[in-house]
Amino acid sequence: MKAVGYIRVSTEEQATQGVSLDAQKAKIEAYAGLYDIELIEIVIDAGQSAKSLNRDGLQRVLGMLDSGKCEAMVIVKLDRLTRSVKDLDWLLENYFADKFSLMSVSEQVDTRTASGRLVLNVLMSVAQWERETIGERTSAALQHKKSQGEYIGGVGFGYTVTGKKLAKTKEFKTVQLIQRMRGDGETLTAIANHLNSEGIKTARGGKWYPMTVSNIIKREDRLQAG
């Protein structure tokens, strides 16, 4: 059987370091050798989220299946392919129900059999249930902290958290300057240029840009509204 391997990492750091990519590649190659699978290529999606199927590497793999270049797809783990039951259902219906095979090294899933397809669906359903349960617990914990008056958001330029409360720092005067200039009708570019000309640095010690200024303004609007 001819197959294409597919590996994915979600962050640019993982993509650059290559540790996870190399580990996935080694596992796929070992799996192919064990089960006498002709591995024609290993396609990589580096720094890509599993939230969508619209990934260059994955779309290329599906194209290889459609064109008849291979009959199967090999992955190290199901979450490398997708984290969505809905997307998995689509892949099963359009590719791996009967036309092509999907093989996962870690879960020992092989969709060439009905039992393999059943196990695949069960595993993905359980995985989604776990994610939703964790999300619910996290949301409840955050709401409890908020009800106790604790600040639970991110700490931006001009702020710090003191005693679980959001407090202003000396840099907040720059935030006020931005708001005042914007209120006077200055453009985002003009505000950024003024801050840079005054030698004022961003939170990371860099230059100001129109988008940076815009983010400050939007954040302040959200804080005032909420």
Query: Where does the pLDDT of residue 148 fall: very low under 50, low under 70, confident under 90, or very high at 90 and above?
Result: low
Task: Compute the distance between CA of residue 214 and CA of residue 6 in angstroms, rounded to an integer.
Answer: 39
Tens-digit pLDDT profile for residues 49-87: 888 899 999 999 999 999 999 999 999 998 899 888 788
Tens-digit pLDDT profile for residues 191-215: 999 999 999 998 878 899 998 899 8
103 and 200 share one domain: no
Task: Compute the distance between CA of residue 132 and CA of residue 85 in angstroms, rounded to an integer.
Answer: 12
| Nearest CA among 104, 112, 116 for reference residue 1 | 112
Query: What is the span of the domain harbouring residue 59?
Result: 2-131
**Percent of the chain topping pLDDT 70:** 90
Q: Are 102 and 73 in contact (CB under 8 A)?
A: yes
Is 154 a member of any domain? Answer: no
Is 144 a member of any domain? Answer: no
31: Cβ contacts below 8 Å, ≥ 6 apart:
37, 74, 103, 105
> Pairing state of beta strands 109-110 and 165-168?
unpaired
Element (H, E) at 73: strand 72-75
Is 79 a member of any domain? Answer: yes
* Six-digit token string for 188: 């985002």
Is 81 a member of any domain? Answer: yes
Query: Where does the pLDDT of residue 226 fall: very low under 50, low under 70, confident under 90, or very high at 90 and above?
Result: low
Give the active site residues.
10
pTM over 0.85: no
Which string of DSSP letters, residue by residue, matches 3-21? Answer: EEEEEEESSHHHHHH-HHH
* Six-digit token string for 158: 């001009």
Is 138 a member of any domain? Answer: no
123 and 183 share one domain: no
119 and 188 share one domain: no
> Phi first, then psi: what are they for 198, rounded to 5°?
-85, 0
Query: Where does the pLDDT of residue 132 fall: very low under 50, low under 70, confident under 90, or very high at 90 and above?
Result: confident
34 and 117 share one domain: yes
| Nearest CA among 3, 80, 90, 73 for reference residue 46 | 80
